[in-house]
Structure 1
């Protein structure tokens, strides 16, 4: 006997079932079976225990179809074969497909595609659940006139047959479990004399209908509930058309079973809703009949969100208020259609609001540290010690190497471009990059790096050896023993313990579950594979295919949790409040799109051939609308619906428009309207409100400022928000801390001073925090400059100006190559290890440097100054520096001393007076502007000159000049016959030295730097009309420049001691890339607006006037 219990959502169908069960038990009935969906089993058990008590609850067998299968197997036995897990099934499926690859007409090229394997499995499962066999599909392939569909069906049939043959006698497939259950039940009297209740299903698949036939043929009575208000309505656009179709299938099953069918019982009374608004909503949702209410709903709320984050925070805010009002977390549900979009955001938001939650969706394991470790271990073997794979494996944190050791190893590999076979050789180069000698600290660091290298590489090579020409089972063993060799098991236990100690018990428990799952995966891979040898690369594909199909269920942290779920899976137990999120067009209800191996047109053709497959097309659209209806009608008291209002998210969905049609005055709330005292739920979310509205002049915000000012844990965050609000400069408020960080007595290079004046914040990051970018050991502009410096120094030092004049072009080229090779061997490590590109760029420098040396030869022929020193060191004298710098005393009691090295020092003596000039080799193209020194820029050579001339060094004398020699050349695109004088002149001017030259009545020095003063070698000319002109200064000008620089150095020291580390990047035509190429831009964007320090670019003469004015004012 079949009795249908029908009614709309909330009409009491489940209540009817439990009341009937209770009556039967009270009347002595003890042979009752209750079947529900798996997700509903726990709720059913709890309800039965509540209604019947411990003494009588065993009168009812409570289960699902899968539980029923397990019970039958337990009682009557089953085939002694293992059931394939989802992951193992994917691997076996791929192997089966490979066996028939050459026979496939359409899918032969897709066998190695993971997405195809998963789609093929889905089709297999669908066919099995719909009781469609491989022979049926092959017959359909023959019958269909559509060639592509015929080929698809042909291949699907072959794949199904191949898979069934592969597992026959070895494994059982879960997709056939219900078919096996049906086969057993046909020969048993399991349901004879029993009363069966079936509740909570929206419909059934073909396998389940066959089982229902057995139940209907044997049971004394069968009660089945469905959510519908008219089971005879065949309108395909009806809200309950999906359910009604399933009722028709059930009636057919009853007829086949010979069971009588009683008149359906329709339940119409409200058994759920506690207010008229929800009653009205349920009654008219998706209905052709509308009954509009003009009242403003108090129990239904619409929210228009700016983003998913805003939407989740709205949900958290309302749930927090409900919990505070006394509603239990377990009486609240959050329902969406696209759980992937909301899961992480909801978890973060719930944590912020301290809301307990549970999500019954299973989680992918591919991102678990242990799984990633095994993945990258195999990749290290497959891709011959790829550095990316090695460090990805190490950064899982599951090896004996700590973070510092991994970072040092990674830095070395980055600097020296270590990859592949280089990992097998001992590292011998400096951890700092190109360096002539290594310090004791460098040697210790290199030794530690090599120990780390040996630790990693030896184990990977051991794994490689264990996997050569071996079976899958052998590789599984090799993976296990490598894990033990790396002490991964111990590290995982330690991780679990630390997580547990920090209160993250669920995450701690998960580590053990992942280890157990990995062991099971390796066991399965060893079991399902044959005895043929397999490469690690082939095994890696199978392992990943299995990983992509395995997952972990979530473990609830307690009983009182907010339930999160997808509308097609979630089973609610009359929750007090429901939050429906993502009510955007195409998202909820979800747009139906054709996917998988069979298109919608393919399915239409199959339906015409009497194939009963899963829902598709119009049926799926009806099903999506039904899911929305069930979600909206699930709560007993409160309904919250939210959607996103950005153009990228599309319009609001039919859910929103339906509610607006029913409730014409339904208000739509938004974040702008939510800023009030009532929005303050927890310290975390309230501080966000304060930070977002910090500038608002309201009593509420003022109160929040006072509240958080008294909370030490928010002190730094509150300070940061204040600074951001006022766009204040960053400062270190504790001057003692600033002095400790930057030192009371500073010992600085001039480049540090220039860095400070380019941007104080960059100086703080670079020299205060010592955060430096890693630099590869390659021919970058910086290293190119070092090479040029070295070669020019060696040649000029060895030959001097007179000796250089005697060399011809061929000899110069030979000398340049000699010193290039010398530099390479002494500072760049093993030449054979460098790339062809590197070697080409390095040797290309010989042409460039040769041109510079030839130019120097010409200059020395026209100059009286003699090179006297190279790389002349300046410092405090403690490390044997040649020139001792004078300390600059700061007003606050500190000092600054300069250190550095002068590229070249030239001298000329006249009338017993020694004149000194410093020369700097520049490999870049930056122009010299004297006005830069007014702002603390381009000071270096001036500081060196003044420091040398104020010292007691034998090279000290009168300041004769600062000159920059550019060693780079411009490339011209011209034909052989098209070179004109202007190009030659421009090329010659590129080597002209720029800077300043001393020349006044008492010190006519310019003519000793270039005899005829034609402006060919220095930027000074002499003519009958203008006399000596160009970049010349007097001795008084030199003094003013010196005093200006001293004041700038003093100012920098004082400001650093005061903690002034402002974000004030310099900007001008000559300095317009300060921010563009800054290494610290990623940590700098914490101000509303960064104000550039605009500097005025003055002409040479105007700069001298400015210096004179400033000097007079001081």
Structure 2
């Protein structure tokens, strides 16, 4: 006999069930079966133990439909076929599709796509649960009027038939479990004489109805509960319409088999809610008839969040208050509709507030380190040792190579562009890039790099060999042995032990389960892959498909946890407090449209042809309203509902509107509400609140500042926030630390002076923190400049200036090519390793350099200055440098010494006096500005000039000029055959920039360019205009020398004082300081960076200002 029990949420349906079970056991009845949804099994077990005690709990079989199947197999035996896992099902479905691919009409394209395979699995599952068979599908395809739908159904039928044939007698698909259970039950008397209670279901699928049919035929009494207050309602859009539809189906089943309906009980009243406010929400939130309440509710809270992070933090804050006031975590449940959207944010927020939680949703395994290891091991072979795959493999942490060694390996691969087959060759180049010879440090690094390279490549290569001409079983075995070779099993065990020791036993157990699951996956791939030879690429597709379909259940960390779940899946155990998040229109309740292989219109047409599948359209929306109703009605004491104001669809949903319709004066809290002591539930959230309101001038914020200033682990963070919000300049407050970082007596390259005056903070990052970017070993502009310097130096050394001026172009071409070949062979490491393309591009420099040398040849024919030194090293003569650097003493007792190398030093002697000029080869065409000196920029060549002129070396003499020679050609746009204009443009480009000594009658300038036409040096003479250009007197050069020393001294004192502010230079020639800065991302964390505007003066005005400044000093 069938007994139906109806009632709204909280009306006591489950209480009715357990009360009757208790009475039956008290009357010595032990033939009782309780069937609940799978998620409710544990809760039911606890309730039975509580109601019946240990003595009588054995009288009741606590089952779900799947557990009922297991029980029948245990008692009466079951099929011995291996059960397909989710991943194995996907692989077999892929194979089934492949077998019929040529016969498919509509779905004959993109069949290899994983999303298509998963869509087929979804429709297969739906057909099976609705007891729709292949013959039913074919019949429907013949009866529908829509040709496209007919073709769809025929293709679906072909695939399902192929899949069933493929697994028949070999594997068992769990989607057929209930059908198999039904066929078993009809031949058994399992339910004979039993009293069966079915509780907690909102409805059933066709397979389950067939099970219930057997139960009704065999059992003495059957009690089934439904959540509805009007089972006879015909409203198709009502909140309980889905439930009522299922009641109608159940009654039809009972009538068909002649089972009498003994009773229909409608329970009334809300026995769950412990206050009137929650009772009103349950009754009227989704009702057309509303009872308005004027008072502000005490147990219902609405919150409007700015974003999802703000919403989750608010939930965490309120939960922390509840826990602090004595509520148990297990009495709190958080419900959302889209768990994928909220899961990570909630988990992060819970961890921040130290809230224990449990989410019983199954987790994808694709991000597990062990799975990623296998994934990238296969990819390393399939994609021919692509570096990104090799390093992704190593970074799983499950190999013998530690993090530091991985970083070194990755740096080397970046510098030398190691990928593909290059991994198989021994590393022979310097880890630093292009170098003339390997240092001892380089050699030692290479030994370790090659050890690690060989370790990983040998394992990958061995795995590759085993996979050649192999079947799926062979490849699975090869993968297992590769894991052992990598020591992945040992590393995983070590990690598990560490986690266990740190109180993370649940994560430790999870690692063990992932290993077991991977072994099962490899085993299933071996079974389902067949005995035929398969390529590793095809195996990888199957592996990826299987991984995408496998998941892992979560294990609770303890017994007292906040429960987190999605509204359509969660089963609450009468929690005291419910939090509903994401109550936005279209999100919760969710706006649902049928997706997959069958559209809404397809399903509507099938229904009209008596072909019944899952609900669609309005029925789905009614189900969504039911989910929302159940969530709203689950709390016993308090209800919190939140939504996001800035969401894509930012209007509040029917959940919020329903509550407002009842409590017309309810207040909606927001993140803009005043903060107080209740807003603080943990140090972390208190600090976030402080950071958000740092500039508020009140006692509360001042107290927080004082509190965190006394906590060592927050002190530096507090200073960082203060600096950011107040936009304070960055300084090193500890002067001793500043001196330790930069050194009391600094020994710097001349280029560092410009680095500092370009931006002190960039200098700190680069030379204080030594955070420098790794440079690729390639022909970039910097490397090109180095090559040009070498060639010019080599040729001038070999020929001398006068001889060079007399050589033909053909002779110069030979010299240039010889020098380039020598550089490639002796200065760039092992040139045999370079590609033909690289060597070709390198030798293409010849044409450009020949042009430069020809230009030099012309200049030397016009000059009495002779090149005496190339790459002249200034530093410490006791360490092999040619000239000692100048020492600038600092007022604080420290000093600065400048080292460097001068591209070329030219000298000229007259009347027993030696004149010195320095020449710098530049690949760029930056304008020379004397105002740069005032701004602390472009000092390098002046430092070299003054150091040489004032030294005790052979280069001591009179400072005569600083010149910058352009050493590369640019593209010039001109009309075709306009050779005169081309020559003019080239002459302009190759006119040396800089400044030349202005002595009596500019004699020195004439010795640099005899006719002073301004073709080679930046000085010219004409009868009408006299002398013009960049000239400077000896006295003025003396002033510049003092200015340079002053700038070096200021830099040293500032660094010792910790002055490293973010004030980048901005002016002529220096307007892109930040654009090309390697550290610009760091500065983005500052509210505003103030640029230092450079003085922009003409060269004469700049010289005059320098003179005045030094005179005043």
Tell me if both proteins adopt one fold, taking TM over 0.5 as the criterion.
yes
Partner residue in 2 for 1:507:
507
Tell me if structure 2 keeps the 8 A contact 1:213–1:256.
no
* CA distance in 2: counterparts of 1:163 and 1:472, whole angstroms: 20
Partner residue in 2 for 1:240:
240
Partner residue in 2 for 1:828:
828
Tell me if structure 2 keeps the 8 A contact 1:761–1:1063.
yes
* CA distance in 1: counterparts of 2:1044 and 2:330, whole angstroms: 72
Deviations 1:618-671 (A, max 9, x none): 110111111111111111111111111115343222222222222221211111
Secondary structure (helix, strand or coil) at the match of 1:1106 reads helix
Partner residue in 2 for 1:168:
168
* CA distance in 2: counterparts of 1:827 and 1:503, whole angstroms: 56
Partner residue in 1 for 2:852:
852
Partner residue in 1 for 2:60:
60
What aligned pairs does 1:565-644 form with structure 2 within 5 A after superposition?
565-644=565-644
Structure 1 position 1050 matched with structure 2 position 1049: yes
Partner residue in 1 for 2:1100:
1101
Secondary structure (helix, strand or coil) at the match of 1:673 reads coil
Partner residue in 2 for 1:438:
438
Structure 1 position 1011 matched with structure 2 position 1010: yes
What aligned pairs does 1:181-580 form with structure 2 within 5 A after superposition?
181-580=181-580
* CA distance in 2: counterparts of 1:696 and 1:674, whole angstroms: 12
Tell me if structure 2 keeps the 8 A contact 1:925–1:968.
no
Partner residue in 2 for 1:984:
983
Partner residue in 2 for 1:723:
723
Secondary structure (helix, strand or coil) at the match of 1:180 reads helix
* CA distance in 1: counterparts of 2:1090 and 2:274, whole angstroms: 60
What aligned pairs does 1:789-938 form with structure 2 within 5 A after superposition?
789-831=789-831, 833-835=833-835, 838-938=838-938
* CA distance in 2: counterparts of 1:1069 and 1:275, whole angstroms: 75
Partner residue in 1 for 2:710:
710
- Report the CA distance between 1:964 and its aligned residue: 0.3
- Report the CA distance between 1:848 and its aligned residue: 1.2
Partner residue in 2 for 1:962:
962
- Report the CA distance between 1:1014 and its aligned residue: 1.6
Matched positions, count: 1113
* CA distance in 2: counterparts of 1:653 and 1:933, whole angstroms: 67
* CA distance in 2: counterparts of 1:612 and 1:647, whole angstroms: 37
* CA distance in 2: counterparts of 1:930 and 1:516, whole angstroms: 73
- Report the CA distance between 1:145 and its aligned residue: 2.8
What aligned pairs does 1:728-807 form with structure 2 within 5 A after superposition?
728-807=728-807
Tell me if structure 1 keeps the 8 A contact 2:285–2:661.
no
* CA distance in 2: counterparts of 1:448 and 1:57, whole angstroms: 65
* CA distance in 1: counterparts of 2:126 and 2:548, whole angstroms: 20
* CA distance in 2: counterparts of 1:941 and 1:501, whole angstroms: 62
Tell me if structure 1 keeps the 8 A contact 2:144–2:609.
no
- Report the CA distance between 1:870 and its aligned residue: 0.3
Deviations 1:528-557 (A, max 9, x none): 221111111011010111101111100001
* CA distance in 2: counterparts of 1:890 and 1:507, whole angstroms: 58
* CA distance in 2: counterparts of 1:54 and 1:1086, whole angstroms: 63
* CA distance in 2: counterparts of 1:1012 and 1:277, whole angstroms: 103
Deviations 1:31-70 (A, max 9, x none): 1111111111111111110111110111111110011000
Secondary structure (helix, strand or coil) at the match of 1:641 reads strand
State TM-score, norm by structure 2: 0.99
Deviations 1:951-991 (A, max 9, x none): 111122110000001123231333424x2744532221100
- Report the CA distance between 1:330 and its aligned residue: 0.7
Of stretches 909-918 and 493-502 in structure 1, the one that deviates more from structure 2 is 493-502
CA shift in 2, pair 1:759/1:649, >3 Å: farther
* CA distance in 1: counterparts of 2:110 and 2:844, whole angstroms: 50
Of stretches 576-585 and 101-110 in structure 1, the one that deviates more from structure 2 is 101-110
RMSD of aligned residue pairs (Cα, Å): 1.4
Of stretches 462-471 and 967-976 in structure 1, the one that deviates more from structure 2 is 967-976
Of stretches 117-126 and 764-773 in structure 1, the one that deviates more from structure 2 is 764-773
Of stretches 175-184 and 1100-1109 in structure 1, the one that deviates more from structure 2 is 1100-1109
Partner residue in 2 for 1:1071:
1070
- Report the CA distance between 1:505 and its aligned residue: 2.3
* CA distance in 1: counterparts of 2:264 and 2:592, whole angstroms: 32
* CA distance in 1: counterparts of 2:291 and 2:189, whole angstroms: 52
- Report the CA distance between 1:840 and its aligned residue: 4.3
* CA distance in 1: counterparts of 2:3 and 2:846, whole angstroms: 97
Deviations 1:127-158 (A, max 9, x none): 01000111111222222232211111111111
* CA distance in 2: counterparts of 1:832 and 1:301, whole angstroms: 74
* CA distance in 1: counterparts of 2:497 and 2:938, whole angstroms: 57
Secondary structure (helix, strand or coil) at the match of 1:762 reads helix
- Report the CA distance between 1:216 and its aligned residue: 0.8
* CA distance in 2: counterparts of 1:229 and 1:323, whole angstroms: 35
* CA distance in 2: counterparts of 1:882 and 1:508, whole angstroms: 64
- Report the CA distance between 1:191 and its aligned residue: 0.8
Structure 1 position 1031 matched with structure 2 position 1023: no
CA shift in 2, pair 1:649/1:967, >3 Å: farther
Tell me if structure 1 keeps the 8 A contact 2:126–2:614.
yes
* CA distance in 1: counterparts of 2:1101 and 2:651, whole angstroms: 63
CA shift in 2, pair 1:789/1:16, >3 Å: same
* CA distance in 2: counterparts of 1:869 and 1:974, whole angstroms: 38
Structure 1 position 1091 matched with structure 2 position 1087: no
* CA distance in 2: counterparts of 1:339 and 1:905, whole angstroms: 72
* CA distance in 2: counterparts of 1:956 and 1:472, whole angstroms: 79
Tell me if structure 2 keeps the 8 A contact 1:10–1:271.
yes
Deviations 1:185-206 (A, max 9, x none): 0011111111111111011000
Deviations 1:555-608 (A, max 9, x none): 001111000000000011111111111111221111212311111111112112
What aligned pairs does 1:70-149 form with structure 2 within 5 A after superposition?
70-149=70-149
Question: Could you list the runs of 5+ residues in structure 2 that have no partner in the other structure?
Answer: none
Partner residue in 2 for 1:1041:
1040
Deviations 1:371-430 (A, max 9, x none): 011011001111111111101101111111111111111111111111211111111111
What aligned pairs does 1:936-951 form with structure 2 within 5 A after superposition?
936-951=936-951
Secondary structure (helix, strand or coil) at the match of 1:264 reads strand
CA shift in 2, pair 1:647/1:71, >3 Å: closer
Tell me if structure 2 keeps the 8 A contact 1:294–1:665.
yes
* CA distance in 2: counterparts of 1:491 and 1:895, whole angstroms: 52
* CA distance in 2: counterparts of 1:761 and 1:501, whole angstroms: 43
State TM-score, norm by structure 1: 0.98
- Report the CA distance between 1:1028 and its aligned residue: 1.8
Tell me if structure 1 keeps the 8 A contact 2:2–2:263.
no
Tell me if structure 2 keeps the 8 A contact 1:416–1:433.
yes
Deviations 1:809-837 (A, max 9, x none): 12212221221121112233455644565
Secondary structure (helix, strand or coil) at the match of 1:906 reads strand
